[in-house]
Structure formats: structure tokens, C-alpha cells
């Protein structure tokens, strides 16, 4: 066996990446099922958009893409779906006609409020039997992992 063979045998199953990915998928599944039980026609991504607009209604579409970690075209498709559900409305900016501002509709506001008990319950489940100190450590470690990834040169 040459050195390259040991590189092939790297065990991703015990890496932090696998556990982060698995945990993220479990959160996604929980939210999907809980939203359905509550009668909410909503994805996690749509809920995040509602949250950002609840914090700052009337965001410019490009700002919203940045805040939700979506590229412009992915966000545009997501917003089109949300507009069809009457959660949001896009209005052309008065000063710059090339810019769309995104606003919550009354339906969007009501839907966002209905997500809060689901999110609160998920937070309680995730943090059960975990101390505040451990939560702070975990957040700090995850921030460092994210910084490590973003500080790396693009692989290709």
C-alpha cells in the first residue's frame, strides 16, 4: 500500500462533518413534520425568509439572499413560491427600479407567528440535558469550523 491508499481510507463516519450533517438533516425532518402537523405549508427555508422579514420587513432581495445564505437565483425561486402562497409581496423600489423590496403579507405574518411554538419546542428538545456552558462551547466550536471553511481557498 502506498501513501495514497491511506488517503482513500479516511473515515468520514467519525468526522465532525458527518455529525453536523446528520444533525442538520434531523432538524430539517423535525421541522418538516411539525409544520405539517400544525397545518403550515412551509419549508425550513421559507420559515427563515419569514423570520428575516419579521426582523426587517422590506429588505432588498439581494440583502435577503445574503442573510439567508442563498444565491440570487435560488432565492428568486423560493420567493416566487412564497408569493404564490401569499406569504410575501415583492415591490419595485421607488428610487431604483432594478431593485425589489420584499415585504410580509398579513398571511406571512400570521404564518410566521404560528412557527414560533414549533421552533420553541425544537429548541427545548435539542437542548435537553445539555448545560448552557456546553451549548456555548458547541456554538463556539461550530463558529470556528465555519470560519475554517470560509478562510480556505476555493478547492477548485
Number of domains in the chain: 1
Residue 152 forms part of a structural domain: no
Over residues 142-146, mean pLDDT: 94
* DSSP secondary structure string for all residues of 45-93: HHHHHHHHHHHSTTEEHHHHHHHTT--HHHHHHHHHHHHHTTSEEEEE-
pLDDT at 1: 45
- Is 135 domain-assigned? no
Asked if residue 10 belongs to a domain, the reply is: no
pLDDT digits (tens, 9 = 90+) for 65-76: 999 889 999 999
Least Cα distance to 82 among 104, 97, 67 occurs for: 104
Look at the pTM and tell me if it is higher than 0.85. Answer: no
Whole domain around residue 38: which residue ranges? 15-123
Exposed e or buried b for every residue in 49-70, given b needs 16+ CB within 10 A? bbebbeeeeebebeebbebbeb
The reply to whether 148 falls in a domain is no
pLDDT band at 6 (very low <50, low <70, confident <90, very high): low
DSSP state at residue 2: -
Domain assignment of residue 146, yes or no: no
Q: Let me know if residue 131 belongs to a domain.
A: no
Whether residue 133 lies inside any domain: the answer is no
Structural domain contains residue 95: yes
Query: What pLDDT, in 10s, does the model give residues 81-96?
Result: 999 999 999 999 888 8
**What's the CATH code of the domain at 70?**
1.10.10.10
Amino acid at each position: 500500500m502506498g501513501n495514497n491508499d491511506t488517503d482513500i481510507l479516511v473515515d468520514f463516519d467519525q468526522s465532525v462533518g458527518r455529525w453536523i450533517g446528520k444533525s442538520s438533516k434531523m432538524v430539517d425532518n423535525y421541522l418538516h413534520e411539525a409544520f405539517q402537523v400544525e397545518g403550515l405549508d412551509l419549508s425550513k427555508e421559507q420559515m427563515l425568509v419569514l423570520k428575516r422579514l419579521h426582523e426587517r420587513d422590506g429588505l432588498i432581495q439581494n440583502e435577503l439572499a445574503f442573510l439567508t445564505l442563498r444565491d440570487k437565483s435560488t432565492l428568486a425561486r423560493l420567493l416566487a413560491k412564497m408569493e404564490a402562497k401569499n406569504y410575501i409581496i415583492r415591490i419595485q423600489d421607488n428610487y431604483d427600479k432594478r431593485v425589489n423590496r420584499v415585504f410580509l403579507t398579513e398571511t406571512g405574518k400570521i404564518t410566521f407567528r404560528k412557527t414560533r411554538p414549533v421552533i420553541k419546542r425544537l429548541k427545548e428538545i435539542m437542548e435537553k440535558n445539555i448545560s448552557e456552558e456546553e451549548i456555548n462551547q458547541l456554538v463556539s466550536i461550530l463558529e470556528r469550523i465555519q470560519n475554517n471553511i470560509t478562510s480556505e481557498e476555493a478547492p477548485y
